[in-house]
Structure 1
Amino acid sequence: MFLTEQELQRITAFRQELHRYPEVSGDERETAGRVKQALLETCPDELIEALGGHGVAAVYAGAADGPTVLVRAELDGLPIEEISDVPHRSLVSDKGHLCGHDGHMAILLALAAGLAKRGPERGRVVLLFQPAEENGAGAAAVLSDPAFAALRPDLSLSLHNFPGAALGHVLLREGPVNCASRGMKVILRGKTSHASYPEDGIAPTFALGRLLSGLTALGNNAPLGPDYTLVTVTHARLGEPAFGISPGYAEIWATLRTLTDDKMAELVEAAERLAGEEARVTGLQLEISYEDVFRQCFNSPEATAVLNQALADEGVSVESESALLPMKASEDFGLFRTVAPSAMFFLGAGEGHPRLHNPDYDFPDALISIGARIFMRAIRNTLG
């Protein structure tokens, strides 16, 4: 390991401090401030703030020209109350680092400490602390930020901890690793009337019922593959909570999920067509909007090869064929493949460890050194 035990203990303590003060997507100001102060101690060649919101990027440059390797971690926590009994449990009501992004940040800070001792021989390393991963907005905001043009990588790498896999064991495969998904909001507007004269209004009652079943039926929940589709209705509302009013308003929230971006385009078209036809035959006004939009996460062959070589050099156990991959869950890191070859590996958090987003989840600190070793080896193999 390129860090001393004392340095690792300090980074572990920093991870636990981040865990105490989680901030949700788009609100990561204090987290970014803590990360910035820790990065300044490593004397990066450049430090960029407010990237795509509250994003922070540290640049470590080599003496010679060469490619740029970007390594990404996430800043945000979740709007979930933590129920664990760890000493460093969240001190913020209804918020918790229950996906392990605090641990991912700690891994990058370990890299920063190592690069402070010995930078790359050529090219650049960009350590990116990205905002708003959990709602799918962060990667797009970072990539569209004018300041990102100067950081544009030739290779992008990331990781995610993975409860369900053995502690320290890596899952890595080429190709799709996370599904595309998006939240679809359908609003139907009619006209209210007195409940005793529903015929005087235009109620969306039957349209809502048909769409609840029709949208769900668009999903086949088949084994993960090119034809996989899933539609999960997560919320529905009809009218107002009153007995004297025939409703004139309804809304449905549904999550659309596919393995590939192409299949997502087909599913979106089918869902919009279904909603449009229902609105047309019932005389309702229709509004459709989307939130939490995630592209598929696809591991490029070139980037996957870099990670596989690093894993072999570090003697880390790795599995390329696993029933655990691809994941049905989404990850906005997939968007980085639009600018450079990219790959994400999945680092086992323990087979019996609480699952991601569970209220009792906590990142295993033993993974900090393992994740940092893998990334540093990939950096050294690529940039020297």
Structure 2
Amino acid sequence: MPVVNRIADYADDMAQWRRHLHRIPELGLDCPKTAAFVAERLREFGVDEIHEGIARTGLVAIVNGQGDGPTIGLRADMDGLPIAEATGLAYASEHEGRMHACGHDGHTTMLLGAARYLAETRNFSGRVALIFQPAEEQGGGAGVMVEEGIMDRFDIREVYALHNVPGLDLGTFYTTPGPIMAAVDTFHIHIKGVGGHGAMPHETRDPVMAAVGIAQAIQTIVSRNHYALNDLVISVTQIHAGTVDNVIPDTAWLNGTVRTFDPGVQKMVMERMEQIVAGQAASFGVEAWLDYEIGYPATVNDPDKAGFATQVAREIAGEDRVIADAGREMGAEDFAYMLQARPGAYLFVGQGPGAGLHHPEYDFNDEVAPIGASFFARLVECAQPAA
């Protein structure tokens, strides 16, 4: 079956909701305007329970089905990004320096559309827990919600989420059993040398040269310290030093990211970074130290739940528009914490051509919202059919 007819009827409303949310992007755990808008819509829909203030501004809404049964969880992220919007749209961000550059306004809208339909039809058994989560981009809101006990509090047995993909044909779904997104860590390397005049470098201990040496040496971890078929990405993304053309500075620092799937590879990277930083510092005669921050874990789909979700996606999109074993990728996603707590699956849905995620010209395609809402709704009805 294609998009659920009743949900198709909501398309104009969903576009209005999404564009309102696009105007008011909020960051991290602090999404009060977004959460208030979501709660207002949920009350209009007549959901049975709304639990607010989880992970500061997150909320969980409960819709009861027909008779007894388990609780299935559906999650949408609500936060935006600290990016200045360059779309020029009539509904562009009203908050300077912030925008919905990853489509979380659309994800929230898709789950609201599913909520409206499920509260209206209740063609399922048990309960559905609608999870509206802050701080996916930074702060690990999914982990905070899990730590605050939502899985046990609402007796959630399985959990699912969707993410849009610019450049993928509209309405095409893909996922994969097992690992689908990488663990992500960040590193900060601080260097303290002795500055001086650029004409007399022999009187300095140059932290800039040390930073360059460390950045180059770090890349050998990928090329020389791990098996080539084990996924690993190390990217130096920032190097900062100096203020004047003819002055060698006292200090420098560099930052970056590490993406892994295997905890053993992650441990090796941490150890080698420590050794490289110490060795390069000694060779350049500077002081240097590493701050390594372990971030989101790998996102790992339950194979059975991924297979089930794929079958539901085929109902919506058609057999030839669903890729069931797309392989894994090196991006990261804090939904990983929910999948550590409960079996479930994370899927992607195409939204057609347009600017990429985290780009200042990105905009969510409103045509995707009824597709995603239909997927969520049918997921519940198929997982927990009414007696």
TM-score interval for Structure 1 and Structure 2 normalised by the shorter chain: 0.7 to 0.9
Partner of 2:351: 349
Structure 1: 5+ residue stretches without partners: none
Change (3 A) 1:312 1:240: closer
Cα displacement string for residues 253-296 of structure 1 (whole angstroms, at most 9, x for unaligned residues): 011123444433332332233223434664625241427x2222
Q: 2:316 aligns with which of 290, 311, 314?
A: 314
- Distance in 2, matches of 1:261 and 1:366, equals 39
Q: Counterpart of 1:372?
A: 373
1:136–1:294 Cα contact (<8 Å) kept:
no
Normalised TM-score (structure 1): 0.88
Which of 272, 275, 284 lines up with 2:274 in the alignment?
A: 272
RMSD over aligned Cα atoms: 2.8
CA 1:277–1:64 in 2, change beyond 3 Å: closer, same or farther?
farther
Aligned equivalent of 1:131 = 134
Q: Distance in 2 between matches of 1:4 and 1:373?
A: 7
User: Partner residue of 2:254?
Assistant: 252
Distance apart, 1:172 and its partner CA = 2.2
User: Conserved in 1, the CA contact under 8 Å of 2:192 and 2:286?
Assistant: no
Distance between the aligned counterparts of 1:211 and 1:252, measured in 2?
9
Cα distance change on mapping 1:220 and 1:128 into 2, 3 Å: farther
1:44 aligned residue (35, 43, 47)? 47
Q: Which 5+ residue runs of structure 2 have no aligned equivalent?
A: none
Task: Output the CA distance in 1 between the equivalents of 2:83 and 2:228.
Answer: 31
Q: 1:80-132: per-residue Cα shift (whole Å, max 9, x none)?
A: 22222433222222221121111111110011101211336433211111111
Aligned pairs for 1:21-170 (under 5 A) are 21-62=24-65, 64-119=67-122, 121-135=124-138, 137-146=140-149, 149-170=152-173
| Residues 198 and 328 (structure 1), Cα distance of their counterparts in 2 relative to 1, 3 Å cut | same
Q: 1:219 to 1:171 in 2, by over 3 A?
A: same
CA separation of 1:65 and 1:114: change in aligned 2, threshold 3 A = same
The code of the aligned residue for 1:334 comes to A
Measured at CA, do residues 370 and 279 of structure 1 come closer, stay the same or move farther in structure 2, by a change above 3 Å?
Answer: same
User: Deviations 1:56-97 (Å, cap 9, x if unpaired)?
Assistant: 111123354432211111111112222224332222222211
Distance 1:255 1:178 in 2: 14
Shift of 1:150: 0.3
The residue that corresponds to 1:330 in the other structure is: 332
Equivalent residues of 2:7, 2:373 under 8 A apart: no
Between the aligned residues of both structures, percent identity stands at: 28
C-alpha separation in 2, matches of 1:200 and 1:225? 42
In the alignment, the residues of structure 1 paired with residue 229 and residue 377 of structure 2 have an alpha-carbon distance, to the nearest angstrom, of 34
TM-score, normalised via structure 2 length: 0.87
Match of 1:363 in 2: 364
Contact 2:167-2:350 at 8 Å conserved across structures: yes
Which of 2, 6, 10 aligns to 1:7? It is: 10
Question: How far apart, in 2, do the equivalents of 1:327 and 1:21 lie?
Answer: 30
Shift in alpha-carbon separation, 1:188–1:379, aligned structure 2, 3 A? same
Q: Would the aligned equivalents of 1:15 and 1:103 in 2 still touch at CA under 8 Å?
A: yes
Counterpart pick for 2:175 among 162, 172, 175: 172
| 3-state SS, counterpart of residue 235 of structure 1 | strand
When residues 7 and 283 of structure 1 are mapped into structure 2, their CA distance, relative to the original with a 3 A threshold, is closer
- Which of the residues 304, 307, 312 maps onto 1:305? 307
Match of 2:287 among 259, 281, 284: 284
Residue 14 to residue 315, structure 1, CA distance change in 2 (3 Å)? closer
Farther-moved stretch of structure 1 (104-113 vs 30-39): 30-39
* 1:100–1:366 CA distance, 2 compared to 1 (3 A): same
Judging changes above 3 Å, is the alpha-carbon distance between structure 1 residues 261 and 118 closer, same or farther for their aligned structure 2 residues? farther
Q: Aligned pair count?
A: 377
Contact kept? 1:171, 1:345, Cα under 8 Å: yes
Name whichever of 198-207 and 121-130 sits farther off.
198-207
Following superposition, the deviation at residue 303 of structure 1 comes to: 1.3
Which residue matches 2:296?
294
Q: Is the Cα contact below 8 Å between 2:278 and 2:288 reproduced in 1? A: no
Amino acid at match of 2:272: A
- Distance in 1 (CA, whole Å) between partners of 2:104 and 2:254 is 31
Q: For 2:68 and 2:365, how far apart are their aligned partners in 1?
A: 37
Contact 1:217-1:231 at 8 Å conserved across structures: no
Which of residues 12, 21, 37 is equivalent to 1:18?
21
